[in-house]
Amino acid sequence: MSKIHHHIPEPMLAAYAAGTLPHVFEVVVATHISLCAQCRAGLEAHETAGGVVLEATNAAALSDDLKADVLALLDIDMPEPPAPKGSGIFPAPVMAALKNRPPRWKSLGFGVRQSILEHGSEGSLRLLHIPPGRAVPDHGHNGIEMTLVLQGSFADETGAFGVGDLEVAGDELEHTPIAGEGEPCICLAATDAPLRFTTMIPRLLQPLFRI
């Protein structure tokens, strides 16, 4: 894998360690961490710091009955669910979101395809397949959009992104991502609000494509 240049912002990594990120963003962060040694080390540092805080906090005393119940539960052998494995370009967190099935691609037009993994009140999680040289329509954001490259590359007004790179876009950014030459660009993308398209046709199709 080529060197990763674009990483998880520190506040987002801290929120992931604390378990306070929306689930769709958690999946993207977990996938990036599975590819990036630097962010994996950063997560371990946050988790270690969190453990120190917990140890320094005075724990509430357990009643004898509650303590006995907890110890009894610890004695029960609970089978571990099998951990999802990565498959091809899709790391384990993506395979878990896919329920270990191949993506179900649907056309967005002009060769661009998507596979929706989650869509609800908390946000949207999808895979995007963009042919080389093809642009995603110019758009802004009503919230946060996280885009992680799994294959190929893309570039926009902020720079170039290769495999493992993560772009975090907020409502201040309007951009036109263009897939690089070579392999099709396959990205994992999460949003917590609909995108804001600047041209008429994408706006008309937006409810149909749930983007």
- Domains of the chain, CATH where assigned: 1-211 (2.60.120.10)
CA distance 56 to 36: 31
CA distance 168 to 170: 7
> pLDDT value at position 205?
60
Mean pLDDT by 10 residues, the chain (211 residues): 89 95 97 96 88 51 51 43 69 97 92 94 93 89 93 96 96 91 97 77 62 70
> pLDDT value at position 11?
95
> pLDDT value at position 65?
58
CA distance 27 to 84: 13
